[in-house]
Amino acid sequence: MTVRGTTRVVGVFGEPVRHSCSPAMHNAAFAALGLDFIYVPFEVPPEQLSTAVSAVGALGMPGVNVTIPHKGAVAGLVDELDESAAVLEAVNTICSRHGRLIGYNTDAEGFARSLEEAGESVQGADVAIIGAGGGARAVAWAVAGRGARSIVLVGRTPPKAEAVAALVNRATGSQIARAVPLASEGEESVRQSDVVIDTTSVGMHPHVDVPPVIPPNWISAHQLVVDIVYSPADTVLLRAARQRGARTVSGPGMLVHQGAIAFEMWTSQTAPVVTMRQALTEALATLGAEG
Ligand code: ATR
């Protein structure tokens, strides 16, 4: 691409950001649509975060993504929080609108769209979510919003799982979510669910052979099993689930769609998700080769 006087700059604030796949996804999308935008990774240490966020406005940037470890802190630095970021208490996308910086979280909607793209639905389903971090929060709120019948947070550390369940119940004004300890009630909860979603980082590159948190014999053929790990795309859990006859959805879709939603907010264009998915696959292959 050619950088001109008119080029709009977006990017990602994180530390580290060296291995982020977002520049590859977004720059491929800008090229595919012929948009005069560039996406740049910015390594921002925590003590510079406030200055960096102010710079989004000062430099006239349409917005930025925010990643580890800044998602929580940025929520206190923007002018306004969208409902998604307020509920999840984390911002992954900033948008500049009429001189104000608005914080969004596109992870939940990105997760929901990745299921829809795969032809799956959680409408009326009993859903088990493994893990209780930021990923679990986004996924739990997403499935609550897409009509799940019940949600059980299966956590190794019960107070964390209980906090996620309480957050979802508060946000939805319902009692849809509850928490159970993995050790004592994990097996029964997973066996009784229609959809099982692993939000832990177990199985992620480079520790691809670590056994999944859920033993495969807890899974049966009627279930949908989802892993939000995107590198590798096909985790030990997903392979084991397919061997037991279950349907599976892998993690790259969530990453592509959370990015696609940010892209659409910054550019007001429909994101070329097929191009983004292809760029992500290539970037992950390069990372795997490096790592
Ligand atoms: P993120 O914000 O990306 O979701 P996180 O905050 O590190 O990441 O959350 C990961 C979740 O996976 C945590 O709930 C973690 O368990 P704890 O709540 O006990 O910390 C869970 N997790 C990670 N490794 C696990 C394992 N081997 N068994 C069970 N849960 C695990």
Residue 2 counted as domain residue: no
Of ligand 1's listed atoms, the one at least distance from the Cα of 160 is 18
pLDDT in tens, 179-220: 999 999 999 999 999 999 999 999 999 999 999 999 999 999
The per-residue pLDDT for 287 is 78
* Position 29 pLDDT exceeds 60: yes
Q: 132 C-alpha to center of ligand 1: Å?
A: 6
Whether ligand 1 lies within 6 angstroms of the CB of 102 is answered as no
Same domain as 144, residue 211: yes
- Any idea which residue has 């909860």 for tokens? 189
* Segments forming the whole domain that contains residue 37: 8-105+253-290
Same domain as 220, residue 129: yes
Same domain as 83, residue 56: yes
Same domain as 194, residue 134: yes
* Position 80 pLDDT exceeds 70: yes
Same domain as 156, residue 234: yes
Same domain as 136, residue 18: no
| Dist CA 199 CA 88 (whole Å) | 15
Same domain as 143, residue 123: yes
| Dist CA 192 CA 128 (whole Å) | 9
Q: 276 C-alpha to center of ligand 1: Å?
A: 28
Same domain as 244, residue 128: yes
Same domain as 137, residue 97: no
Element (H, E) at 26: helix 22-33
Active site residue 71: yes
* Position 97 pLDDT exceeds 70: yes
Structural domain total, the chain: 2
CATH of the domain at 72: 3.40.50.10860
What would you measure as the largest C-alpha separation in the chain, in angstroms? 61
Residue 283 counted as domain residue: yes
Residue 30 counted as domain residue: yes
Task: Determine contact, residues 236/203, Cβ cutoff 8 Å.
Answer: yes
